[in-house]
Each structure stands twice: as C-alpha cells, then as structure tokens.
Amino acid sequence: MKHITINGKPYEVEDGLTIIEAAKQHGIQIPSLCYLSGVHEFGSCRICVVEVEGAKTLVPSCMTKVSEGMVIQTNTERVRKARKVLYELLLSDHSKDCLSCKRNQSCELQALGKQLGVEATRFEGTRSECVIDVSTSITRDMSKCILCRRCVTACNEIQGVGIINAQNRGFQTVIAPAMELAIGSVNCAFCGQCTVVCPVGALKETDSIQAVWEAINDKSKRVIVQTAPAIRVAIGEEFGNEPGSRVTGKLAAALRRLGFDDVFDTNFTADLTILEEGTELLSRVKSALTGGEAVLPMITSCSPGWIKYVEHTYPDELDHLSTCKSPHTMLGALAKSYYAGKIKREPKDIFVVSIMPCTAKKSEIVRPEMKNDGLANVDAVLTTRELANMIREMGIDFNNLPDEEFDNPLGMSTGAADIFGLTGGVMEAALRTVYELVTGRELPFDGLHVTPIVGFDQVKEAAVTFADTLPDYRFLEGVTVRIAVTSGLAGANKLMEQIKEGKSPYHFIEVMGCPGGCIMGGGQPRSDDPDVRSKRLRGLYTEDEAKVMRKSHENPFVTQLYAEYLEHPNGHKSHELLHTHYVRRGTYNEYTNERFDLGVRPAEKKRDLAAQAINAAARAEQARAREENESVRVLALEAENARLKSELADVNETVGFFKSVIADYASRGR
C-alpha cells in the first residue's frame, strides 16, 4: 500500500496503480483522452496531466505510478490552463466539421472540450492532408485523427495483428497500414476493434445505410432483415438503456417499422449451424477413429474476421476450418432459395440485410464464395451502431415500442442459438446437441452451461467423455473429446501455432475474432462502462435460460427445413447452400493475384517522384483491380467532394469579407 495525498486529502492506495487509476478509485475524475483502461500503452495526448510536488514539469497521470508520500494536485490553475492549451493544439489540426460528422455528440474529443470549458480555438496552423481510405468494411478519415494511438494498441496489443501503426514522423505522422497502403489491400482481418476504441470520427465502419434505404424504398424488392444474437443485448445501450438489457422484442418491432418485409433471426441459422457443424465434427472424429483420414482439430468458422486472419496467417492450415458458412450467409442462402420458393418470388428480387455486431461481415458478403447462382447470399450488412442511426433517423421511439416476435419460418430459435454471440457459446451449443445425439442423454452440466468455457479467459479448455453411447455412435464409446475456446486473434494465434507444430491436443476449437466474442464485436455500441462485457454476457445467458427449448436440434422449424428441403445435415443441398471453401492468401497476399497496393497518396507524391514514374504503369493496373468495387470508390469521392466544397465556401466567405473591407476603405478614402 502507498500513502498519497490528492488535492489535500490523504488516501491509501494499492501498489502499482497509476495516478489516474488511484484517483478514480477514490472518486476523483481526471480528464483524459487517449487513456484506454486496462491496456494503456502510450501517453500521447497529455490531457490527463497533473501537478506532483517535487516534479519539475506536469506529469501524465495515466503513465505515472503512485509512489509513497506522493502529493498530487489534479485541478490547479496551472493544470487546467495546460489542458486547455493541449486541447486547442489538438483542435488546430482537426477537421472541425462536427455538425456533419458521424460522431457528432458521441465524440470523445467534443465531450472533452465541453468538460475542459474550451470556448475558443486560438491556434490556426497548417492542416494535415486529408486522406480518406475506404474499404468494404472500414473507412479511415485521417483528417479527423488526433494520433491518440488507441487503435494502434487495439490492433497490436489486444488483437496482436499489427496492421496499423504510426508512419512517418513529426507533422507528417499518420496512423496507417505499412507505407500508407490502403487498408482494404493488406492483411487486415476487418475485426473493427480499432473503430470501437477510436474517440473521434477517424475510424468507422463503411456506411451501408444508404444502400438499405434504397432497397426498402424499391417496391420491386422483397427486403428481408435478420439480426445476430449479440444485437439484442447491445442496441438498447444506444437508446440509454443499461448494457446487457435484453430488448429482443423491441428490436423486432423496430425492424418492422423501418419497413422490412420479413423480420428473421440469424439465431435460426445458428441452430442450423449446430446441426451442420456437429455432423461435420462427428464424421471427422469417426473417420479418425476408424482409421480414415481426417483433419483434426476442427475449428469453427462463424467469425469472418477470424477467417480472413487465418487465410492470411496460416494459409496451410485451412483444412482445419469447418466448411460451414457463417450463420447469416446461411440464412441469406436459404432466403433466396427455400423461402423464395415458399413465397413464390424470384431470388433476384429478394434483398437480404443482416444486422451484425461485426465489421468483417461487410467484407464477407462480397466474397465470391458467398454466392449461389450468381446472387450474393446477403446484400448488405449493417452494424449495431448503423441500425441505431436508422432507427433514430426514422423517428422511432425505441424504448416505448411494444415487444414483437420474429417472423417464421426463419425466425424461431432455441437458447443454444442465443449464446452464439459470446465466447464459448458456439462450443456449448454444439456440445448440447452432439452429446445428446451420441448418448441420448442431456449434457451433464449444471443448467447446460459448460462451466470451464464460460468467461473471458483468453484460452479456455474442457474435455467431454462419452459413455453408454447409442448404437449408431459406438465408435465414440469411452472417447474423450478435448475442446478449446478462444476469442480475440491473439489467443487464436496461440492455438494455431500449436496446430502448425502438430502439437495441438484438441479435437474441436471455437474461435471468435473479437475478445469476448460477438458481444464485443467491432460493430457494437461504444461504451464507457467498464463492465460492459460481463453485462452483455449475462444478458445473452439469461436470454438462453429464459427459453423452453435450449438445444438446437429441438428447433421445430429446423426439423421442418430438413424434411421439406435440405433432407439431412451435410447432405447435397446443404453442401451447395450452407458450406463453403477458403482462400489461401498468405501474410502479404503472396498466394493470390492481389498484391499489397501502394496506391496514390499525397504524402508519398513528394517523397517518391522518381519511383512513381517507374511504377506508374504497374500501379495503375493494380489500382484498377482494387477499385472493382465501384460504389465504394464513389463514396470516397463524394466524401472528398463534400470536403472540398466546404473548403471552397470558407475561402469564398473570406474573400467576400476582404472585398467588403476594401470597398469600405475605398469609400472612406473618397
């Protein structure tokens, strides 16, 4: 314990705390900006400076550890003045188009200015060049970046992938992929964790709202919406509810009021995934036990960020992935085949929208593998945050909506599907079904929860032994199946290294790309509640426990789907619609035709005139290939156009003002 004094009062605090943490424990708030609780790496913004007796300068409270007898002042005149100057300096190189910024009123920089009482921006200096980099998932607008480096910490320390980092030096510093490559052209998994921690509008999901409005307004389209399990315990936060509040009924009601024709639930295909994936696992294990060839461990494939990561990082281990598509693409595929037949509509007239906690799913749907008969399984993905924006735009009073149900046949689900949204959930759901299929008895865990894999440890493991098996599954008698669960790409990396070295002791592994699972996905609401993770986790477990049916194979509509259409799990039709294959990419895309693309960047132009001449031809070819996605390019151009227009308006205004002054003087002279 250390004895310290803050603002004249003595406190006793634990060893090893930073000043900001110690102050917070005793209810003293120190304003901060770049500080990221738990994983703080850089003290870059210096907003949290405090006065420490005996120190020559103000010290950053987020980086300075408490020491015995420390005397700290957190809010003297000197400290407050310093913070204001620091804040104004940040603003001097920030594009201040706040009113038309996506983060308006949810911007931490904006809130901080209010908190610090800043009412003037005294410093007008050179502004960084504006680079807007639009990929299918993530949009980077570096004119808004304040170089706080939270995204660098999320990408490098939390996820361990290190796609973005500081490039160049001094005023030219920009947070970007290597050599300022376009983020869509490198090995980014599109997990979107950077967009969650960004305090301003610099990193965000690439907008799909406009495309969805257009589809809803197009009377020739049947617009189908589906929502992932993690949305129902998170979207309430956008409307002022406590994290983890279960708002499933209001969510369905809101979607209906937005004008969607069918409101389905991705949970339905989560149940279906369990039957497909469970069957695949059993057949792999059977093959291994009966002397055949089988690749084990099998790894789940619901998380497209994880998929892209493994394609880049472990291109030789792709056979370990389950061939199941992610649940929302399964639902899209069924909507445009099974359901289209039921309602007698042409598949091409059906537009499928997925509400996802995920930014990677925006890129997943444009993969050529996610098509059947030339039609994309899913046409647009909205993040939880985007859906909240649409609900607001539509003037829907979310909190006062009645509770409604999802539509059938693709809207009914069991409790097992709900927990797909949290780390360990897919595994638990699979075990509930597989164990019962094999033994005819319920999974022997209290409340059906596989306790060793519940919670937020990076890697969790468990073992299940089969005894008294049913006749069809005698090959499993006495067999112990070892499982592991991880969330976040850093944890996945550990398990993949074992596999690569041939030392993995497991048979089945669940991987979710975001730490904590989909409840903490890159498209989820940004939260300042330190317990947000466990609250959302609790919410989903409660959702599961509240259901009568809690095992995927009990879902009557899934049974009906097999009876009417798919015939049996892993059957021919299933393989066509619900299963996929993966692409060997390599860290630098060396196994594909795509190359890391140097693109055209203003900063580079000056530095590398000579090289540009040499590479111009090659580069133009690459740029053309990359810009296949025309709509994305148009978005970028439009954004740039809007910015230039506003700059022009500013300049015109200034010219007008000077003109009037000159005219004024001229008339006085006369």
Partner 1 sequence: MNNAQGHCTCCQSDSAEPFAELDQIIDLYRDKEGNLIQILHIAQELYGYLSLELQQHIAFALNKPLSEVSGVVTFYSFFSTTPRGEHTIRVCLGTACYVRGGKKIVDALQKSLGVDIGGTTADGKFTFEVARCIGACGLAPAMMIDDVVYKQVNINKLDAILSRY
Mode of pairing for the β-strands spanning 371-372 and 350-356: unpaired
Q: Of residues 186, 230, 519, 561, which one binds partner 1 by CB under 8 A?
A: 186
Q: Which is nearer to partner 1, 45 or 161 (CB)?
A: 161
| Structure tokens given for 40 | 């703080």
Q: Check if the beta carbon of residue 145 is closer than 8 Å to that of residue 167.
A: no
State which of positions 610-649 bind partner 1 (CB under 8 A).
Answer: 610-611, 613-614
Cα-Cα end-to-end distance for the chain? 79
DSSP state of 517: S
Contact track, partner 1, 245-264, x by CB under 8 A: --------------------
Name the active-site residue from 277, 386, 543, 554: 277
The site that binds partner 1 (CB under 8 A) totals a number of residues, namely 27
Stretch that binds partner 1, among 41-49, 155-163, 393-401, 458-466 (CB under 8 A): 155-163
Per-residue HEC secondary structure of 646-669 comes to HHHHHHHHHHHHHHHHHHHHHHHH
Which of 534, 592 has the CB closer to partner 1?
Answer: 592
- In the list 89, 166, 318, 470, the residue contacting partner 1 (rule: CB under 8 A) is 166
The CA angle 135-141-144, to the nearest 5 degrees, is 160
518 labelled catalytic: yes
Give the residue from 207, 233, 271 showing the smallest Cα distance to 550. 271
**Beta carbons within 8 Å of 552's beta carbon, 6+ residues apart:** 270, 271, 272, 273, 274, 275, 278, 414, 416, 417, 429, 432, 433, 558
Residue 42 engages partner 1 in binding (rule: CB under 8 A): no
- Does 182 sit near partner 1 (CB under 8 A)? no
588: contact with partner 1 by CB under 8 A: yes
Among 179, 616, 644, 661, binds partner 1 (CB under 8 A): 179
CB 565, min distance to partner 1, A:
46
| 361 counts as catalytic | yes
Instruction: Give dist(CA 660, CA 651) in Å, integer.
Output: 14
Q: In the complex with partner 1, which residue's Cβ is closer, 179 or 644? A: 179
List 12, 369, 497, 653, catalytic entry? 369
Q: Does 161 bind partner 1 (CB under 8 A)?
A: yes
- Alpha carbon distance 341, 47 (integer Å): 60
For partner 1, the closer CB: 77 or 501: 501
3-state secondary structure of 382: strand
For partner 1, give the closer residue by CB, 372 or 622.
622
Nearest residue to 595 (alpha-carbon basis) of 604, 607, 586: 586
Q: Does 593 bind partner 1 (CB under 8 A)?
A: no
Q: Which of 48, 62, 145, 302 is catalytic?
A: 302
Residue 654 contacts partner 1 per CB under 8 A: no
Q: Does 591 bind partner 1 (CB under 8 A)?
A: no
Q: How far is the CB of 167 from partner 1 (least distance, A)?
A: 5
Stretch that binds partner 1, among 32-40, 172-180, 472-480, 652-660 (CB under 8 A): 172-180
Catalytic residue at 322? Answer: yes
Question: With b meaning 16 or more CB within 10 Å and e meaning fewer, what string describes 192-220?
Answer: bbbbbbbbbbbbbbbbbbebbeebbeeee
From 37, 67, 168, 654, residue interacting with partner 1 (rule: CB under 8 A): 168
Tokens 């709202």 found at: 209
Question: Which residue among the candidates 322, 326, 487, 552 is catalytic per the annotation?
Answer: 322
Our finding on whether 417 is near partner 1 (CB under 8 A) is no
Q: Which is nearer to partner 1, 467 or 614 (CB)?
A: 614
Angstrom distance (rounded) from CA 266 to CA 352? 12
**606 lies in the binding site for partner 1 (CB under 8 A):** yes
**Crossing angle for the helix pair 266-289 and 425-439, to the nearest 10 degrees:** 60
Label the pairing between strands 2-6 and 71-73: parallel
Work out whether 587 is an interface residue with partner 1 (CB under 8 A): yes
For 206, the token pair is 């690439």
Residue (16 or 162) nearer to partner 1, CB: 162
Q: Tell me how far, at minimum, the Cβ of 143 lies from partner 1, in Å.
A: 19
Out of 73, 121, 165, 283, the only residue in the binding site for partner 1 (CB under 8 A) is: 165
- Applying CB under 8 A, which part among 130-138, 285-293, 457-465, 608-616 lies near partner 1? 608-616
176 binds partner 1 (CB under 8 A): yes
Following CA atoms 485, 488, 491, 496 in sequence, which dihedral angle do they give, to the nearest 10 degrees?
Answer: 80
Q: How many CA atoms lie less than 13 Å away from 86 in the CB half-sphere?
A: 23
- Number of Cβ within 10 Å of residue 587's Cβ equals 13
277 is annotated as an active-site residue: yes
- Please give the residue ranges that form the binding site for partner 1 (CB under 8 A): 156, 161-169, 176-179, 186, 587-588, 596, 598, 606-611, 613-614
Q: Which residues belong to the active site?
A: 277, 280, 302, 322, 361, 364, 369, 518
